[in-house]
Amino acid sequence: MAMHTITTTAELSEACSRLAAAEFVTVDTEFIRETTFWPELCLIQMASDDLAVLVDPLADGLDLAPFFDLMRDERIVKVFHAARQDVEIIHKLGDIIPVPLFDTQVAAMVCGFGESIAYDQLVARTTDGRIDKTSRFTDWRRRPLSDQQLAYALADVTYLRDVYRFLSAQLAEKGRTRWVDEEMAVLTDPATYDLHPDDAWRRLKLRVRKPIELQILKEVAAWREREAREADKPRGRILKDDAIYEIAQQAPTDEQSLSRLRTIPRGFERSNAGREIVAAVQRAQAVPRADLPSIPRPPQLPEGTAAAVEFLKVLLKIVVEENGVAAKMIASGDDLEKLAWKGDEAPIAAMDGWRREIFGDRALNLLKGETALVYRNRKVEIVAL
């Protein structure tokens, strides 16, 4: 198969027209984001049965509109592996979400390939192919890219065709296509990617003890998020996390007190950023005490909950072994605590959809005493009471 490297809008339009005739298109992107807030798209790879192409989004004058039109075409399944960052880039640049979407990493976890299997391992286990990883740490911004680098990039989508077919057949055979569809609903929800600056504090560990400290942390984290986006710089280059924690605890209300903080670089207090941080602290301190946020704390679990969680862990292991599904796809340790505490009212994914079918209902039966775990014949069994 000839390798196509696209550098003009006319070439891209022609390629996307041909790809649009396919039932599915495999897609991958190469990007850099070490020095920017937003990922910098450096290469796009796409393949159908009849065509495999590389698109150079850095080429002068190239308009990606035909690519975005293809991604929004609901007649064609867009196949990715570990889709989230690729979808984030496409959403940011094209203001669209590729639909319908199929993520082979998610499908692999549903089909018994373990948790977050690497792409090269998945290729080796589902096809006769082998991925040459020598070019995986390429600086994809550099031009020209070597034939070896281009071949590595193209292999990501050419092998993905066979991986997709294999996993689709497995899902159909196991009756689990709907399971993956439910997961794709999350990946194709714009809310998954649109973090509001006012919610940026949720990315941070809550190293605060008082409501006023949390309010300051929220204000400063929101300021940093807006600054990082506008300047297109990583959050840590605007203000380190440790600096946010210290500001929240020390509450500097003027330039002099800001300058005394250990985590603040010398002279920072005299910059516009320093003055804006002081203003953020002052805004937080102006919030009436009654309106200050409460500190999220782990709930005091009722007596006996810890023991119930241990039973649920055993049940989860049984379900994982029976169904060949990665445990992280069903429930986390925190989920099991919530389930043991709140039962059917637990706000967790295991109480909905396919997770409830294979685990949630059985967990509730166990918690209600309607079933029990019995060890016999060298294995744990679930028995009705």
Same domain, 260 and 126: no
Same domain, 36 and 144: yes
Same domain, 171 and 209: no
Q: How many CA atoms lie within 13 A of 334 on its CB side?
A: 5
Same domain, 319 and 184: no
297 is a domain residue: no
Nearest to 273 by CA among 233, 224, 218, 200: 224
Cα torsion through 289, 291, 292, 294, rounded to 10: 120
Same domain, 86 and 168: yes
Beta sheet of 101-103, edge-to-edge order: 4-6, 52-55, 40-47, 24-32, 77-80, 101-103
Q: Residue 282 and residue 251: Cα distance in Å, rounded?
A: 8
Max Cα–Cα distance, the chain, nearest Å: 73
CA torsion through residues 376, 382, 384, 385, sign:
positive
Q: Give the CATH number, domain containing residue 168.
A: 3.30.420.10
Same domain, 372 and 309: yes
Number of domains in the chain: 3
Query: How, if at all, do strands 52-55 and 77-80 pair?
Result: unpaired
Nearest to 28 by CA among 50, 49, 45: 45
Q: Residue 188 and residue 340: Cα distance in Å, rounded?
A: 31
299 is a domain residue: no
Domain C-terminal end among 264, 291, 318: 291
Same domain, 266 and 373: no
Q: What is the pLDDT of residue 222?
A: 98
Q: Give the CATH number, domain containing residue 323.
A: 1.10.150
Nearest to 316 by CA among 378, 358, 370, 379: 358
Number of helical (H) and strand (E) elements in the chain, helices listed first: 17, 8
Query: What contacts 24+ positions apart, CB below 8 Å, involve 302-311?
Result: 302/341, 305/337, 305/340, 305/341, 308/340, 308/367, 309/333, 309/336, 309/337, 309/340, 311/366, 311/373
167 is a domain residue: yes
Q: What is the pLDDT of residue 2?
A: 44
56 is a domain residue: yes
Q: What is the pLDDT of residue 3?
A: 57
Same domain, 354 and 232: no
- CA–chain centroid gap for 128, Å, is 29
169 is a domain residue: yes
Same domain, 329 and 377: yes
Q: Residue 77 and residue 80: Cα distance in Å, rounded?
A: 10
Q: What is the pLDDT of residue 186?
A: 95
What's the predicted TM-score (pTM) here? 0.90
Q: Which residue shows structure tokens 């690729």?
A: 86
Query: Within 10 Å of residue 97's Cβ, how many Cβ atoms?
Result: 19
300 is a domain residue: no
Q: Give the CATH number, domain containing residue 285.
A: 1.10.150.80
Residue numbers in the chain where pLDDT is lower than 50: 1-2
279 is a domain residue: yes
Residues 6+ apart with CB under 8 A from 116: 82, 105, 109, 326, 328
Same domain, 159 and 255: no
Cα torsion through 328, 330, 334, 338, rounded to 10: 180
H or E stretch at 24? strand 24-32
Cα 284 to Cα 105, 187, 253, 263, distances in angstroms: 43, 35, 10, 20
Q: Provide the residue type at 94 as one letter.
A: G
Which structural domain range is residue 231 located in? Answer: 197-291
Q: Residue 76 and residue 60: Cα distance in Å, rounded?
A: 29
Domain C-terminal end among 192, 226, 248: 192
